[in-house]
Structure 1
Amino acid sequence: MAAQPPLGFGLLDCTHLPFNHLTGPIYIKEGDSTPRFGMFILPQHSDAEGFAERGVLATLADMVAGRSLVIASNFTLGCFTISLNLEFLAPVPQGGWIETTAKLYGQQGNVAFVACDISYDGNVVMQANGKFKQFPHADLR
């Protein structure tokens, strides 16, 4: 039987984002002021040593930052990544559950500045800071 996410997390619908099928499944917990995202590090997300590929963590941070901006806009603004800076602090073993949130820490016109921490077992394992260009978009639910 597949591992189950913690209580309150549901599967994030990414059917409109085909690339995310390669990196998921990704889960979301809403209801707090900031949505939390999580995923298990599966064999396809792991390197030869049995730890999460750093590219998987980078992809998750990028997706979570962007999705958080879309949610904060009530699904009326899309965004794309201008830049994303990453700091990998510790490895995540295969099978591990990771969680992340994104925080908007600045806005200049249609450019948003976002920070994202990824945690495993209560410890931050990666930090990301990025700039995202926002634009009007049809409903992105």
Structure 2
Amino acid sequence: MQVPPGFIEMPGHDPGIYNSLLGPFWARAEGEGVAIGFRVERRHCNPAGQCHGGMLAGFADIVLTGGCNHVARLSRFLVTVSLTQDFLAPAALGAWVEARPEVLTVTRSTLFGQCLVAANGVPVLRASGSFRFGGEPDPRFDRLRRLLEGA
């Protein structure tokens, strides 16, 4: 599976948890930000041969929680409180899908973020959400920073 230049495979999660079933995902540092992507495989598709909307929604949630955590330098587990999605176009089998998380604001207990998901450069999903801090800072939730700094 080919990925665009500069992307590094993100470390997997414990086998059997949801995130491990969706990946692999790839990340690339972009200044203070990050791009996260995946290649649409057959297992990600609906019966029409397009990337399933649930896969795109799950990807957006991972981009917003993990990516915004990285951008905001929180090192915290983020619990999804609200996730809004607008499906804009289909993503075909084999397409490279990527998104860049954007932190809108961070309060004492909540992060608000958004992203635009594109397939082969064409916008396919717009997502925004609010995410509560699930506990104190913890190095387990700083994996993306460590990966990108080690590259």
Q: Please indicate, yes or no, whether the TM-score normalized by the shorter chain is above 0.5.
A: yes
Alignment of 1:124-135 (within 5 A): 124-134=123-133, 135=135
Compute the TM-score of the two structures, normalised by the length of structure 2: 0.85
Matched residue type, 1:14: G
Who is 2:149 aligned against?
Answer: none
More strand by share: 1
Counterparts of 1:22 and 1:112, CA distance in 2: 26
Kept in 2: contact 1:99–1:120 (CA 8 A): yes
Compute the TM-score of the two structures, normalised by the length of structure 1: 0.91
Who is 2:12 aligned against?
Answer: 14
Who is 1:61 aligned against?
Answer: 60
**Offset from partner CA, 1:3-49 (integer Å, 9 cap, x none):** 21000001111224732221111111124221100101100000111
Who is 1:139 aligned against?
Answer: 139
Who is 1:49 aligned against?
Answer: 48
User: How many residue pairs align between the two structures?
Assistant: 139
Cα deviation for residue 77 of structure 1 reads 1.8
Counterparts of 2:13 and 2:111, CA distance in 1: 25
Cα deviation for residue 109 of structure 1 reads 2.2
Who is 2:76 aligned against?
Answer: 77
**Offset from partner CA, 1:72-121 (integer Å, 9 cap, x none):** 35463221100100000000111111110110112232111100110012
Counterparts of 1:93 and 1:53, CA distance in 2: 10
Q: CA-atom RMSD, angstroms? A: 1.6
Cα deviation for residue 128 of structure 1 reads 0.4
Who is 2:85 aligned against?
Answer: 86
Who is 2:117 aligned against?
Answer: 118
DSSP-derived class of the 2:118 partner? strand
Q: Select between 93-102 and 8-17 the one with higher mean Cα deviation.
A: 8-17
DSSP-derived class of the 1:64 partner? helix
1:28 aligns with 2:27: yes
Matched residue type, 1:15: H
**Structure 2: gaps (5+ residues):** 144-151
Kept in 2: contact 1:69–1:79 (CA 8 A): no
DSSP-derived class of the 2:67 partner? helix
Identity of aligned residues (%): 25
More helix by share: 2
